[in-house]
Structure 1
Amino acid sequence: MSSYYIRNEKKYKKRRALITVISVFGIIAIAMGVYLFMNKGETTATSPTDSTKPTVAQTDTSPTTPTSSEHSAAAASTSTSVTSLNGVNTKDHGFLPNIGSVKKSGKMDGLRKLITDYTSRLSGKYGVTFIDLATGEMVNVNDTDRYIAASTSKLPINVLLYKYVEAGKVNLNDMLTYQKEDVEPGTGIIQQSPFGTQYSVRETSKLSIRKSDNCGVNMIIRLLDIQNVRQYLVDLGGKVYYDNRHRSCPYDMALVAQDLYKHYLKNEDVYGELINNLENTDWHDRIDAQLTGVKVAHKIGNQVKTANDVGIVFASHPYVLSIMTDNVDFVAACKNEATLSKKIYDYVESYAAQDQLQN
């Protein structure tokens, strides 16, 4: 082999090696460019989705304190009736705080003493549960003893009914037929109707609250099934099982009223109708008797030697008050409950006003 050929072969090898190196670096550069371009596109596409995640979490979680960016995302996603994560602006009651969204007052020992001192001097037995819905604080006096529920039981029955309405299981415009099995003497006007008379679910519910209609509530029970009502009370954490003896306690009824308040804040369009009926009953001789100008959504219960009342008082700090009695003089008990209710209202307004001054 000639030396000329060998020299040229070496020269070509060097050229081929150089071309190979340049090609490899070129391929690497192109690959990196493609990777960076694709990664940039992916980041741009996913950023809006990631930024909405705090919104979903904050919609249903009121106790959590959000960061500033989370608060902005939540505010953008909530309905126009929600002013902040601390509460809701309602059409009929103005701003209402979420349960437990306000700093605890630390005044519950004084309120417990007020209730105990007053009720201990009365004849008969009084059970009381109080819940400050703004702070979440609770006071209980004789609260889990068994009492005759009487017509306070119409409150959980109707709250469950409206839960079914919200879930689409029941339509308020559906018709219910008054039947012989629904007959129950006492309060109400449906008992004056002939069997076969039809009432809408909406009208039946309204009568069972405003007129405390016994036949009407039996028609609703037939629609819901009493076992579902009992299970609802169990699921809330009730202490007294609502069996055929129709017994309950102030604590259990207070849980129902608190549950109604919670759902009213979430869906005023549905639960506002029930709240309105509770504010416009035929009875104003107990919790709301001395609360002039204050809206009270409540349900009474009357029985021999029993005078009950449970409801939501829309005070500066909205609160639940549940009072049940045993072995009392009915007329005297109604007056006593009105007096106790006013004492509690004044006490709450006093510490609520102090909170406002401090803030």
Structure 2
Amino acid sequence: MSQATTALSNLFNATPNLTAAYYYNLETGQTVSKNTATLITSASTYKLFIALFVIHQIETGKLSWNSAYPYSSGTVRSGFYDMIHISDNTFPQWIIAKYGKATIDTYLKSQGYKGIFNNSDHAMTSANDLGNILKYYNSHSSDSNVSYLLSLMKNQVYRSGIPAGTGQVVADKVGFLWDVRNDAGIVYDKHPYILVLMTNNQTNFDLICRISKQVQTIVG
């Protein structure tokens, strides 16, 4: 076990209120994790999976970026933009109503994920699934639709978690609900990596920022 791996493992396991964590070095495959398989309240990180479903609908010709959308400025592209850029809930709720939870989860499970509608009250996911979907987006970044998603993630408005902590360019999606604060992103350091941090008993992203800063110090 490398010195960095040990340090990251110690950091994750010693941090109270860090429910789950996942680190993956995109160059070496080095992985450090905590409680990654458990399904946890996703908050708005579930929108990464809605995005995957929408992109699949577009790439199979069942939907287009210019398809009518009854809110925002009236197209799927505008709703998708709002879902990622400002974490608006209207578009994903419209997609869920249009296709149904079962259809979305069947697709996600066919792609190797656990699904997001395992709880009737709110969406749930695991740090492992968040890490894997970010791996997918990173490896398919030459796809124009994925590239568009990543550009939105790099410029989404909630920057006080992983982006603030690492000080790097980060394509991330945050989630906040009740006392849950989650952040999942691709950190474009000189040695790029994926970082997923899921926390509870929080009122802001300060804990995620602090952990991210320590991670960057260890691996940067």
| Root-mean-square deviation over aligned CA pairs | 2.2
Structure 1 residue aligned with 2:58? 165
Structure 2 CA distance for aligned equivalents of residues 135 and 254 of structure 1: 15
Mapping of residues 1-359 of structure 1, within 5 Å: 107=2, 110-178=3-71, 199-239=74-114, 242-243=117-118, 244-245=120-121, 246-265=123-142, 267=143, 269-292=144-167, 294-326=168-200, 328-331=201-204, 334-349=205-220
Residue pair 1:263, 1:271 contacting (<8 A) in 2 also: yes
Question: Which consecutive residues of structure 1, in runs of 5 or more, have no partner in the other structure?
Answer: 1-105, 179-189, 191-197, 350-359
Residue pair 2:38, 2:126 contacting (<8 A) in 1 also: yes
Pairwise CA distance, 1:137: 2.9
Pairwise CA distance, 1:236: 3.7
Structure 1 or 2, whichever has the larger Rg, is: 1
Structure 2 CA distance for aligned equivalents of residues 114 and 281 of structure 1: 30
Letter in 1 for 2:186: I
Residue pair 2:9, 2:32 contacting (<8 A) in 1 also: no
Provide the aligned length of Structure 1 versus Structure 2.
Answer: 218
Pairwise CA distance, 1:277: 0.7
Between Structure 1 and Structure 2, which shows a larger proportion of helix residues?
1
Residue pair 1:305, 1:330 contacting (<8 A) in 2 also: yes
Structure 1-normalised TM-score? 0.56
Q: Sequence identity, in percent?
A: 24
- 1:229/1:240 Cα in 2 relative to 1: closer, same or farther (>3 Å)? closer
SS in 1 for 2:140: helix
Letter in 1 for 2:17: G
Pairwise CA distance, 1:249: 1.3
SS in 2 for 1:337: helix
Question: Which consecutive residues of structure 2, in runs of 5 or more, have no partner in the other structure?
Answer: none
- 1:277/1:250 Cα in 2 relative to 1: closer, same or farther (>3 Å)? same
Structure 1 CA distance for aligned equivalents of residues 91 and 145 of structure 2: 20
Structure 2 CA distance for aligned equivalents of residues 229 and 114 of structure 1: 38
Pairwise CA distance, 1:259: 1.1
Residue pair 2:12, 2:21 contacting (<8 A) in 1 also: no
- 1:240/1:163 Cα in 2 relative to 1: closer, same or farther (>3 Å)? closer
Structure 2-normalised TM-score? 0.87
| Structure of higher RCO (CA pairs closer than 8 Å, 6+ residues apart) | 2
Letter in 2 for 1:329: Q
Residue pair 1:283, 1:300 contacting (<8 A) in 2 also: yes
Q: Name segments (4+ residues, structure 1) moved above 6 Å.
A: none
Once the two structures are superposed, what CA deviation does each residue of 1:142-187 show, in whole Å capped at 9, x if it has no partner?
1122311110001111122123323333210111124xxxxxxxxx
- 1:216/1:322 Cα in 2 relative to 1: closer, same or farther (>3 Å)? same
SS in 1 for 2:11: helix
SS in 2 for 1:126: strand
